[in-house]
Amino acid sequence: MTAAYDTARIKVDRFATFRPVSSGQDIPSRAGTFMRILLADDHDLVRETISAYLQSEGGAQVSLATDLHSALETISAEGPFDLVLLDYNMPGMFGLEGLSRALEGNGGKGVAILSGTAPNRTAQEALDAGAIGYLPKTLGAQSLLNAVRFMISGETYVPISLMREEAAAPEHPMAKMLSPRENEVLSGLCRGMSNKEIARELDLQEVTIKLHVRTLCRKLDAKNRTQAAMAAKEAGLY
């Protein structure tokens, strides 16, 4: 993984005040114990790379899952875990709906969102929904390990760059016209994804994506999906 963000650990108090914590110091795991982590991600390379690093460099015990259903089964059979990492777009998640189910299943211990494509605003939405952290998949390997240790110690983590970007940039006017799901579908269109690929990423039926595309075209006054994507790009939304 390459470090595309300048990262820092952030402590969140009950009033949602963010306080940066230096990223130059590792936070140790609990004395005499292994970190027990569940990593759920449907991308083999991401899942295997992250788990291998957490085990080799962090001394963690990592269980793996490829979708929300198998993650919940693993939590029930082996949990609670010190930390559960959930891919935002893996099958069964339905956005942040899966987060609530994992939080309930993990007995009050930390659950964090891992994402490579979700809009930046999803970080705050995840925190509001009870997540202990939000980790972009572009996070550097050592920063990821530091973040995991930080969350296991009971603190909340998000890259400070995401919070700065969110605070600095008002919501795009075009984004306000669309529902959260429509924005996710539009993001897929702008990335050149087919309806089938978007359906798989969002764990929806292809016919549902077609309906969203039709609604997007109407709202954006576009004749087809290509024009809708071009309109979003030209407006600077994606």
178 confidence band (pLDDT: 50, 70, 90): confident
117, 135, 167 — which closes off a domain? 167
Of all residues in the chain, the percent with pLDDT exceeding 90 is 40
For the segment 216-226, the average pLDDT, to the nearest whole number, is 91
In a domain, 3, yes or no: no
Shared domain for 53 and 117, answered yes or no, is yes
Q: For the segment 179-213, what is each residue's pLDDT rounded down to a tens digit?
A: 888 888 888 898 888 999 888 888 789 999 999 99
The rounded distance, in Å, linking the Cα atoms of 160 and 177 is 28
Final residue of a domain: which of 116, 136, 167?
A: 167
The encoded tokens of residue 73 equal: 């089964």
Same domain, 143 and 62: yes
User: Where are the alpha helices (H) located in 38-179, listed in sequence order?
Assistant: 44-58, 68-78, 97-105, 121-128, 141-152, 160-168, 173-176
The vertex-217 CA angle with 216 and 223, nearest 5°, equals 165
4-58 per-position pLDDT tens digit? 333 333 333 322 333 333 333 344 444 445 799 999 999 888 899 999 999 998 8
Same domain as 228, residue 181: yes
Write the Ramachandran bin of 176: left for phi over 0, alpha for psi from -120 to 50, otherwise beta: alpha
Same domain, 100 and 198: no
Report the pLDDT value the prediction gives residue 163, as an integer from 0 to 100. Answer: 59
Q: 225 and 149: one domain?
A: no
Instruction: Mark whether 157 and 220 lie in a shared domain.
Output: no
DSSP conformational letter for 157? B
| Contact status, residue 163 vs residue 123, Cβ threshold 8 Å | yes
Phi, psi of 215 (to 5 degrees): -65, -40
pLDDT at position 164 is: 57
* CA atoms of 151 and 148, how far apart (whole Å): 5
Q: Which of 52-66, 114-128, 167-181, 219-233 has the lowest mean pLDDT?
A: 167-181
> In which element (H, E) is residue 26 found?
none
Q: What is the CATH number of the domain that holds 216?
A: 1.10.10.10
Q: Residue 167: which pLDDT band, with cuts at 50, 70 and 90?
A: very low
Model pLDDT, residue 161:
67
What is the residue range of 79's domain?
9-167
Interhelix angle 206-219/195-202, rounded to 10 degrees, is: 110
Q: Could you tell me the two tokens for 198?
A: 């978007």
What pLDDT shows up at residue 63? Answer: 95
Report the mean per-residue pLDDT for the chain.
79
89 and 200 share a domain? no
* CATH value at residue 70: 3.40.50.2300
pTM tops 0.95, yes or no: no
Judge whether 140 lies within some domain: yes
Is 89 inside any structural domain? yes
Answer yes or no: is 188 within a domain. yes
Judgement on whether residues 112 and 198 belong to the same structural domain of the protein: no
Q: Are residues 160 and 203 located together in one domain of the fold?
A: no
- The dihedral built from the CA positions of residue 49, 45, 106 and 102, taken in this order, carries a sign that is positive
Domain end point (choices 121, 150, 167): 167
What's the total number of domains in the chain?
Answer: 2
For residues 37 and 114, membership in a common domain is answered with yes
